[in-house]
């Protein structure tokens, strides 16, 4: 079952009748866990990313590996 189906299932189990209704701690914890990415979706965080280009060049040369540049232009909030 994917995350969206899980979330829809939880919302059906824990209906919120009004905008001011409160969630129990168990309901909140369940919804919070569903909002977090799965470990398989966050595997890129386990890579040894370098933020310094020169350090990345030295490391790539030592390990005989290419460099992958992830770079964006424009405003950091707009990624234009």
Express each pLDDT in 7-20 by its tens digit: 666 666 555 555 56
CA pair distance 3, 6, nearest whole angstrom: 5
Q: Whole-angstrom Cα distance, residue 30 to residue 49?
A: 32
Residues 24-33 have pLDDT tens digits of 899 889 889 8
Q: Which helix (H) or strand (E) holds 29?
A: helix 25-35
Above 90 in pLDDT, residue 74? no
Give the pLDDT confidence score for residue 53 in this predicted structure. 92
Cα dihedral 46, 51, 53, 58 sign: negative
Contacts of 16 (CB under 8 A, 6+ apart): 23
């Amino acid at each position: 079952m994917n995350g969206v189906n899980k979330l829809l299932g939880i919302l059906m189990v824990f209906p919120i009748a009004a905008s001011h209704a409160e969630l129990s701690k168990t309901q909140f914890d369940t919804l919070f866990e569903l909002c977090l990415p799965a470990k398989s979706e966050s595997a890129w965080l386990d890579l040894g990313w370098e933020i310094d280009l020169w350090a990345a060049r030295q490391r790539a040369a030592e390990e005989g590996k290419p460099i992958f540049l992830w770079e964006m232009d424009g405003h950091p909030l707009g990624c234009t």
